[in-house]
Amino acid sequence: MTTYSAVRTTGIYCRPGCGAKPLAENVRTFELPAAAEAAGYRACLRCRPYRVAGAVADDAPELVCRAVQLIIAGVLDESGEAALSARLGLSARHLRRMFHEHLGVTPDQFARSRRAHFARRLLDDSELGIADIAFAAGFGSLRQFNRAMQEVFRASPRELRDRRRRTDRLVADGGLVLRLPYTPPYDWDAMSAFLAERAIPGVESVEDGIYRRTIALDGDPGLLEIGPGGSDHLLLRAHLPYWEGVIHVVDRAARLVGLDAEPVLAKTLLSGDPVIGPLIAARPGVRVPGAWGPFEVAVQAVVRDQLPGDDAYDVLHKLVAVHGMPVPGLGHSLTHAFPGPRVLTEAELVGPLAQEVAAGNVVLDGGEDAEALIASLEAVPGVSTKAAHQVAMRLGARDAWPFDDDAERLRPWRSLAAVHRVLSDS
């Protein structure tokens, strides 16, 4: 877990490894940049902490992690903390208290810091105009954008762009190229192998170490490509119909490849297990993959659970070809965007699941309690306990176990153990 150091005498916070050498008695530590900013500190110009991963610690309460997932999905873009807390079934006051206790910020402060940091990365890395960056980062207006950047970085967007370094600029052969930062270790080979094994035909592919997939934004098609970048980041190349809300595209891409959480505590506690411990020692950079499309992952889990490999492939291929939105001219065997639940209510094997999701009886937005999510999935005809746990694992549940055998000894971190088991068996 990255810890940020803030210096009382300068009002500046830094990431680990910065060359600054303050006196120890003048230093405060924070687990999130947002918490340092809420306490009145600004980002160091030398080490630029906005360019590293700032994941929430995996020992934070699951309720807080679910709230963070909803914020990342954009819940606070169009509504306030009251709507977020209502979605989680608690009062806004209680939610703010939990955020203060475990993250050091309010939900609004957390969201604002994320938008500002993402915008700063776009100012460094891309050639997008100031207005495009404002809306790409999720700000509602240029005025709001300018105010937030002044508050967080003590400078205007124009001044911040003028400060960028020559090596920051990412040369793009089409599309918008961005860094997806992570705190090492991170095992891209293992993660891309996991995704390749589960790639939905026509929608996803993994070739030469590059993961590609089609997406749809408000009915318009796009393409994402994710691959190796450097020792502390992957590279995302996004071909999108528009730039508004790009922050959410990038966050969803990061969650897909497991960059939204660093399993520090989970690895520590599982390392002593006689079966999983050696697997973690061999591949310490394995994370739990997430999902671009939760419904897509649910459909795949049900089909793969009911049918053997080749038959499952054929059914998924047919679902995509018949019901998906065509996306021509992409190559890499990518042809369609995955269909939504309303289109698949009469489809083979997954019709009941699609009906329940379309009716709102099964909620796949990541804000549902893991036990409630699994129970709602198990209540759907054709969805086994094993498939329900597979879906929960990909949607961020810490303690899902998509196997038939018992693994009580691995609680409450069975999801990470499950990914290691899957990779060791493949």
Q: How far apart are CA 256 and CA 251, in angstroms?
A: 9
Per-residue buried b or exposed e for 303-337, using 16+ beta carbons within 10 Å of the residue's own CB: bbbbeeeeebbebbbebbeebbbebeebeeebbbb
Catalytic annotation on 14? yes
Tens digits of residue pLDDT in 145-202: 999 999 999 999 999 999 888 777 665 557 899 999 999 999 999 999 999 999 999 9
- Selected residue with higher pLDDT from 78 and 371: 371
Q: Report the pLDDT value the prediction gives residue 297, as an integer from 0 to 100.
A: 97
CB 319 within 8 A of CB 299: yes
How many helices and strands in the chain, by DSSP H and E? Answer: 19, 13
pLDDT bucket at 329, cuts 50 / 70 / 90: confident
Averaged pLDDT for residues 338-350: 95
* Contact between 262 and 59 (Cβ < 8 Å): no
pLDDT of residue 54: 76
Instruction: Classify domain 4-52 at the CATH topology level.
Output: DNA Methylphosphotriester Repair Domain (3.40.10)
CA–CA distances in Å: residue 132 to residues 226, 307, 392: 22, 46, 35
List the one residue out of 295, 359, 365, 291 whose CA is nearest residue 324. 295
**At residue 7, what are phi and psi to the nearest 5 degrees?**
-110, 120
The structure's pTM equals 0.90
Least confident of 17-26, 267-276, 380-389, 415-424: 17-26
The number of C-alpha atoms within 13 Å of 162 and in the hemisphere containing its C-beta is 5
Instruction: Kindly state the average pLDDT of the residues 310-339.
Output: 92
The residue from 173, 208, 218, 405 that is catalytic is 405
**Averaging pLDDT over each range in 51-60, 168-177, 192-201, 324-333, which range is the top one?**
192-201
- Of 14, 44, 47, 65, catalytic: 14
Mean pLDDT across 270-280: 98
Instruction: Say what the pLDDT of residue 100 is.
Output: 94
**Alpha helices (H) along 294-369:** 294-306, 309-323, 351-358
Amino acid found at 361:
N
Under a CB-based contact definition with an 8 Å cutoff, are residues 215 and 249 in contact?
yes
Question: Alpha-carbon distance 366 to 103, whole Å?
Answer: 19
User: Is the Cβ–Cβ distance between 136 and 244 less than 8 Å?
Assistant: yes
Does the annotation count 44 as an active-site position?
A: no
Q: What is the pLDDT of residue 356?
A: 98
Which residue in 37, 46, 42 sits closest to 155, CA to CA?
42
pLDDT at 125: 87
List the domain boundaries for the chain. 4-52, 245-425
Q: Quote the tokens at residue 146.
A: 């300018």
Percent of the chain with pLDDT over 90: 81
Asked whether 248 and 71 are in contact (CB, 8 A), the reply is: no
Q: Report how far residue 139's alpha carbon sits from residue 148's, in angstroms, rounded to the nearest whole number.
A: 9
Is the pLDDT assigned to residue 78 strictly greater than 90? no
Label residue 243 by pLDDT band (50, 70, 90): confident
Which tokens go with 116? Answer: 């500002």
**What's the CA gap between 145 and 142, in Å, rounded?**
5
Mean pLDDT within 37-41: 94
Identify whether the C-beta of residue 415 lies closer than 8 Å to the C-beta of residue 290: no
**Do 245-425 and 4-52 have the same topology in CATH?**
no
Strands 233-239 and 261-262: unpaired
Give pLDDT tens digits for 247-267: 999 999 999 999 988 899 999
- The CATH class that applies to domain 245-425 reads mainly alpha
Q: How many angstroms separate the first and last alpha carbons of the chain?
A: 29
Percent of the chain with pLDDT over 70: 99
Output the pLDDT for position 1. Answer: 61
Mean pLDDT of the region 283-310 = 96
Distance CA 47, CA 28 (A): 17
